[in-house]
Structure 1
Amino acid sequence: MYEADSLQFRQKLLNIAGGLGKGDVEDLKFLCKDLIPFGKLEVMTSAREVFEFLISNDVVNQEDTFVIAELLYRIHQICLLPQIGYNKEMVQGNLHLKGQVSEFRQMLYELSEDFTEDGLTSAVFLLKDHLPKRQSRMSGIELLTALEKKDLLSENNLTLLEDVCKKVSPDLQKKIITYKLKRVSLSVQESKETVPSSVRRSPLGGASLPTAIQEGSTQCTTKSSDSYGSLRQHTGHVHSLGSNPGVKAEDSVGHSEQSFSLGEQDDESKIATKKYKMDGLRKGYCLLFNNENFEGPLGQRKGSQIDAKELERVFKWLGFEVETYDNQTSTEIHQHLQKWQSSEDWKDSDCLVCCILSHGKSGEIYGTDAQLIPIRTIMSYFTAKQCPLLARKPKLFFIQACQGEKTQKAVFLDVDTDDHLGSDAQSAGLPSPQPSIPEEADFLLGMATVDGYLSYRHTREGTWYIQALCTKLKQLVPRGEDILSILTEVNKDVSYRADPQGEKKQMPQPAFTLRKKLIFPVPKDPPPSQQP
């Protein structure tokens, strides 16, 4: 039955591909630049190849074809939507929740459509020195693509394009101005929503943010430009990221780049435009603690090995040496951390990654001996003072563990799949006092859930959070996205998930004191899922 369904699904996409002309395919490829690496797009010549890539990377599957529907809608091929069960109104109604094409890409596509023949010829003439020498006639999409390839056009670099449009057509310039004003408006709105009058300064130099999501409100916005959240109850004073809230909002700031430039006058006051060094011979180590079997009343974490194996594959692909520790007691975890704290290997390493898969409660995780370890303590082993060889280097912690026993309520229901969900919660007990993160820079903490709530683990497929993290790293690292943008996409992915009855939801909570952008170098090999 599954094979028949798969065949029918692919036949529908093949029919759609057959209904698209050469110009439609170029439009499709242009809109997919947020979804497919540019190098791969360049060699694609058909819609079928585009669809095949989206399927192989699980952007499109039999259960979810919305990305295809969105692309058809944006290239004005409304007549093909019924092939996959959509119509114009259905697509429009879901764009704000499920849309994958960025505002920036939409704006560029509209510009390409609005170029008159004379205006395009004039633009090509003005930009002649920046365009391929042998190409005298270009479409609007080809022109914009050429500028992007030469790094003369990007979401944060519209100066050249705006200047040309001003000379060629004031109407085109207005589109760019409207887009820029919209971005500014979102930024202002973000600031108003996340930095109320109760904000107080953090010892890190940042501002504190409020809890943005309470129980019963788990609907998440879909763009990475949406408001940043905050974190206190998990681990204390850190900067937070994403449109997800929660744990209590204090001592965090929406824009980390601003927080450090406000009070420092040395060279690091300009770090907002800098990146962490990540091109050394040794990327660093990924320390992976996978606790599956516990003493006492804590249940077995079935499916955790799936997460552990995927994390190992992804971080090895990113160039890290992975050290895995299975089923460690609290004492053993401390011993391993102490060993790595004094390791000379950090001298030539660019970065530390530490992943912990376990049960937990507010601000703490369990060893297999059912003893709690504060997350603050785990991170404190690697502060600049305690581990000087990692000073000024990024330290990333990803924690897959419950942070309480409450269940987040769902907004949308889905009752079509089998229920194999477990939770990473404590068995019982009152919340413990909230620890705080060491007041040091260059940390990033990715929590699977906000404080007080459960996180979910599929016994055959792994946890929602870790699987989303690995998927987004594989998808977005090749596109040059920084870690904060990637984690925002992880937030978005997990926020859409629910149990079969639609009653259980989850909202991850990243937090950070990073002072620069962290961008993983693009590996030479394809992502693990694409390897034979």
Structure 2
Amino acid sequence: MALQDKLLKIDHIAESLDSSERRRLLYLCESPETDTSVACVKEALRSIVTSRDNNGLFLAELVYRLERFDILRKLFKFSRENIERDLKHKQVLSRFRVLMAAISEEMNSDDVNRIKFLLGNTISRENLENVKNFLDVIVELEKRDSVSPERVDFVEKCLRDIDRIDLAKRVASYKMSAEIPGRHSALLPNCRTHQTRQGQPHRIARVNAPLVTSAVQIPERSLELYKFNTNPRGVCLIIDCVGNDGEMLEQTFKDLHFDVILQKWLTADDTLSALKTVIRHRDNYPGDSFVCCIISRGTDDHLLGTDLYGRGLPMDSVRRLFTAEQCPVMTGKPKLFFIQRYSVQDFLPCTRMYNQDEGIETDGYAGLSACNHIPTDADVFWSHCWTDERQLEQGDGHRSVYLKALTDALRKAQTRKSSLLDVQMEVNAAVYEHNGRNPGENYHLDVKHTFRKGLLLN
């Protein structure tokens, strides 16, 4: 790749990214630059590219880690599969920085605020006020030599302290994979030196290790797999309170060999009743998994169904109904939730809306927390997308970009050995690409999971 061609690619990359993406890019390429303007990012990339031998793969991996597959295809003629195959043999970017950037993308503002509270005695108040995301936290800790690619115990502890056990486990996995090479680094080729604050060099080995390829991806193929081969594979409950995409989901999950229950135009109370019915008849639903899809208007933490007023259904209750305590038959089995919410801005809840003990109890059920949307119980995959209710004003022809991307990715998974996280990654890319083309019609994603094993769809 000629230098002039690479410089043109750099210009296109910098101009195509938003400010948060440029911030992550600078962190990934270990640039000390703090200015995220297009001009400064171009200059930083030019400086790095002109000093590297493997700069073509370096640029491609940067774009890949940002999940800008549109740029990857346009500039490098790479598919996601192409770059993943190449990176299995030679990863250019720092594994530590890739992991920290991926974790940052998976943390919401509440997570970051809790981290900031924990670090009140470690980082000055002035510096904490400038912290906007997890990457800012890591940069501050690196400045204080509290965290480095070789020392991540502090990061793991902080994540455990805010109950992000899923992320803490990923740090622990990184730490374990780095320990053995670290003890024998003198025997390994391709090592670079890193100056610590005290000026003493440490050798850091570049090794082939599991890739962190998205905010939710873990190296599934190296893990034990969930059983997922019964016929039917389980029950799929689809609740469509909007009326546009239920049938599309129904056919998709039937093709995946699920027993599908589709219910349309339900109120919040009816939605709860439908969920309870599945619980009551759980012994009648054989299979290795459970899927719940809900399409509904709603607020940040409640689903409204077709209601124009009322208490709504706390979103967290949907997941908690299927915990091991409430639904023992699903213990150890993957439980998948796909939620498309259309945000209602001027909804005025009645006073009963926040009485959480009303209307949501099951046998032995002891209350819910509407403020915690993180799937803290094991074996849960939670994919929640929301967009403005005004999207529905397009009329009967409206289709959710998120659900269309989901069904497309699931259909592809039937013809190839894809993991659920691969499917979600394709959805992320499609939604992100849509948002870039339609800035006034953005979709937002919150994807979390507490999987202990991999889940392959085929």
Q: How high is the TM-score relative to the length of structure 1? A: 0.45
2:270 corresponds to which of 323, 327, 332:
332
Question: How far did 1:380 drift?
Answer: 1.4
Question: How far did 1:94 drift?
Answer: 3.6
Aligned counterpart, 1:465: 402
- Relative distance call for 1:501 and 1:200 in structure 2 (3 A) is closer
Q: Is the 8 A contact 1:261 1:271 kept in 2?
A: no
Aligned counterpart, 1:398: 338
Q: Does 1:105 align with 2:82?
A: yes
Q: Is the 8 A contact 1:284 1:321 kept in 2?
A: yes
Q: Does 1:494 align with 2:451?
A: no
* C-alpha distance in structure 1 between counterparts of 2:331 and 2:390, whole Å: 32
* C-alpha distance in structure 1 between counterparts of 2:372 and 2:390, whole Å: 21
* C-alpha distance in structure 1 between counterparts of 2:424 and 2:398, whole Å: 20
Helix, strand or coil at the partner of 1:190: helix
* Cα-to-partner distance string for 1:329-375 (whole Å, 9 max, x where unaligned): 22222222112112244663111111111101102111223331011
* C-alpha distance in structure 1 between counterparts of 2:455 and 2:301, whole Å: 25
- Relative distance call for 1:518 and 1:488 in structure 2 (3 A) is same
CA RMSD of aligned residues (A): 4.2
Helix, strand or coil at the partner of 2:249: helix
* C-alpha distance in structure 2 between counterparts of 1:483 and 1:456, whole Å: 28
Aligned counterpart, 1:342: 280
Flag structure 2 segments of 5+ consecutive residues without an equivalent: 1-55, 57-68, 118-130, 136-158, 175-219, 355-368
Q: Does 1:180 align with 2:99?
A: no
Aligned AA for 2:72?
L
Q: Is the 8 A contact 2:269 2:313 kept in 1?
A: no
* C-alpha distance in structure 2 between counterparts of 1:480 and 1:319, whole Å: 16
1:377 corresponds to which of 304, 308, 317:
317
1:428 corresponds to which of 347, 371, 374:
347
Q: Which has the higher contact order (CA 8 A, sep 6+)?
A: 1
User: How many residues align structurally?
Assistant: 282
Aligned counterpart, 1:517: 454
- Which residues in structure 2 correspond to 1:67-466 (within 5 Å)? 94-95=71-72, 101-102=78-79, 105-106=82-83, 176=89, 179-182=90-93, 184=95, 187-190=98-101, 193=104, 199=115, 251-252=163-164, 255=167, 258=170, 273-292=223-242, 304-305=243-244, 307-345=245-283, 348-370=286-308, 371=310, 372-402=312-342, 404=343, 425-429=344-348, 434-437=370-373, 439-449=376-386, 456-457=391-392, 459=395, 460-466=397-403
1:478 corresponds to which of 415, 426, 440:
415
- Relative distance call for 1:485 and 1:187 in structure 2 (3 A) is same
Q: Is the 8 A contact 2:103 2:167 kept in 1?
A: no
Bigger CA drift: 387-396 or 458-467?
A: 458-467
* C-alpha distance in structure 2 between counterparts of 1:108 and 1:377, whole Å: 41
Aligned AA for 1:435?
C
Q: Is the 8 A contact 1:283 1:319 kept in 2?
A: yes
Aligned AA for 2:446?
Q
Question: How far did 1:107 drift?
Answer: 8.1
- Relative distance call for 1:353 and 1:278 in structure 2 (3 A) is same
Q: Is the 8 A contact 1:314 1:474 kept in 2?
A: yes
- Relative distance call for 1:343 and 1:98 in structure 2 (3 A) is farther
* C-alpha distance in structure 2 between counterparts of 1:352 and 1:276, whole Å: 12
Helix, strand or coil at the partner of 1:398: strand
Q: Is the 8 A contact 1:257 1:272 kept in 2?
A: no
Q: Is the 8 A contact 2:73 2:79 kept in 1?
A: no
* C-alpha distance in structure 2 between counterparts of 1:455 and 1:443, whole Å: 30
Helix, strand or coil at the partner of 2:236: strand
* Cα-to-partner distance string for 1:293-333 (whole Å, 9 max, x where unaligned): xxxxxxxxxxx33x111101110011111101111122222
* Cα-to-partner distance string for 1:170-202 (whole Å, 9 max, x where unaligned): xxxxxx4xx23437265345267458796499x
* C-alpha distance in structure 1 between counterparts of 2:272 and 2:434, whole Å: 34
- Relative distance call for 1:274 and 1:330 in structure 2 (3 A) is same
Flag structure 1 segments of 5+ consecutive residues without an equivalent: 1-73, 75-91, 110-154, 157-175, 202-208, 214-238, 240-249, 263-269, 293-303, 405-424, 523-532
Identity %, equivalent residues = 22
- Which residues in structure 2 correspond to 1:33-48 (within 5 Å)? none
Q: Is the 8 A contact 1:256 1:513 kept in 2?
A: no
